[in-house]
Amino acid sequence: MRLPRRIAFCALFLLGLSTAGLSHAACESGLAERMHAKLHPNRQLDERLAACKIWPAFPGRSIVVLPMPRETTDRGAKVFDLEILLIQRPDNGNTDRDTVIGRLMQPEALDEDATTSIQDIRIDTSRYVLSPEARAFGLRVRYRGSNAPGNPLASETVRLYVHHGKQLRQVLQEVELDHDHGGWDSTCTGHFEKLRTMVSVGKGSSNGFADLQLSRTLLQSRAQEQEDQGCVEKALPPKFNTVTLRYDGERYKVPRSLQQQTP
């Protein structure tokens, strides 16, 4: 039996998410574990999802994300508190002198249940220059739906943070950038959708921060079994649109349609 290309693509995409979770999550230097032991000795750390990254824009600085699970609820959902840290590291490499210069605790920031799991958390240090004094970094979360094989589901979101004084502040709530989903009857007939979004800093500004431009591409296809038992896939015309997010003085205003949806 030959699967439609879209079905094969979705299977490969979801497999890629699973393996990427293993390669991106670990903090090889042990920085996350040291910070967790120092700041939250009585909390459990999900080491698989912990993330660390040097911030190239600022010499000696590293960003650390500590996902700490709460107790599983009666319905089987797992909830994570996130501690996000900005660390200044000494030039001589003495880890005892790592200093927290910014932090933000976000209770119940992430959750997963019987149908949705978190594949990995990655730190995004792209050029999010929002003002001459404010440069943001991102937190990308990849989700995978654990539904039946005939319903492949995956999603990636982003949040943005800035450093003010000794605190970190979230300026962009969780926004869905990419998703892959669809449904098929395990032989041929089905529909599939792939969304991809590019985030860039716009030329305009609102309340002192640059606008954000989200350039979105939606690809859709349909597969239908024919009378001769062949399987024909038809790609629909791609759809393009650009969404501008403007800063209201505290955060970027996000339309409901762009907010993260559970796969």
pLDDT at 248 over 90: yes
pLDDT at 219 over 60: yes
For position 202, what pLDDT does the model report? 95
Query: Which residues are 221's β-sheet partners?
Result: 192, 235
**Element housing 98 (H / E):** none
For position 260, what pLDDT does the model report? 56
Q: How far apart, in whole angstroms, are the C-alpha atoms of residue 19 and residue 33?
A: 22
Strands 190-206 and 153-164: unpaired
Q: Which of 162, 155, 161, 156 is nearest to 173 (CA)?
A: 161
Looking at the chain, the whole-number percentage of residues with pLDDT higher than 70 is 83
Query: Which residues are 156's β-sheet partners?
Result: 142, 178
**Element housing 38 (H / E):** helix 31-39
Single-letter amino acid code for the residue at 215: S
Single-letter amino acid code for the residue at 238: P
For position 224, what pLDDT does the model report? 85
Q: What's the rounded mean pLDDT across residues 152-176? A: 91
CB 143 within 8 A of CB 118: yes
Q: What's the rounded mean pLDDT across residues 168-192? A: 88
Q: Which of 78, 22, 72, 71 is nearest to 47 (CA)?
A: 22
Q: What's the rounded mean pLDDT across residues 213-229? A: 88
Q: Domain spans of the chain? A: 5-258
For position 150, what pLDDT does the model report? 55
Query: Which residues are 128's β-sheet partners?
Result: 136
For position 85, what pLDDT does the model report? 96
Pick the range with the lowest mean pLDDT from 44-48, 143-147, 230-234.
143-147
Q: How far apart, in whole angstroms, are the C-alpha atoms of residue 62 and residue 18?
A: 25
SS (H, E, C) 201-238: EEEEEECCEEEEEEEEEEEEEEEEECCCCCEEEEECCC
For position 163, what pLDDT does the model report? 95
Q: What's the rounded mean pLDDT across residues 82-87? A: 96
pLDDT at 46 over 70: yes
> CB-hemisphere CA count at 13 Å for 242?
9
Q: How many other C-beta atoms lie within 10 A of the C-beta of residue 193?
A: 16
Q: How far apart, in whole angstroms, are the C-alpha atoms of residue 22 and residue 135?
A: 29
Q: Read off the pTM.
A: 0.85
- Work out the mean pLDDT of the chain and round it to a whole number: 84
Could you tell me the end-to-end alpha-carbon distance of the chain, in angstroms, rounded to an integer? 28
Q: How far apart, in whole angstroms, are the C-alpha atoms of residue 229 and residue 209?
A: 57
Question: CB burial class (10 A; 0-12, 13-18, 19+) of residue 33?
Answer: middle
> CB-hemisphere CA count at 13 Å for 150?
9
For position 210, what pLDDT does the model report? 97
Pick the range with the lowest mean pLDDT from 35-49, 87-101, 172-186.
87-101
91-135: pLDDT as tens digits: 776 777 889 999 999 999 998 877 788 999 999 999 999 999 999
Q: What's the rounded mean pLDDT across residues 71-85? A: 82
Pick the range with the lowest mean pLDDT from 4-13, 124-133, 206-215.
4-13
For position 25, what pLDDT does the model report? 42
Residues 6+ apart with CB under 8 A from 200: 212, 213, 215
Q: How confident is the model at residue 74 (pLDDT cuts 50, 70, 90)?
A: low
Looking at the chain, the whole-number percentage of residues with pLDDT higher than 90 is 59
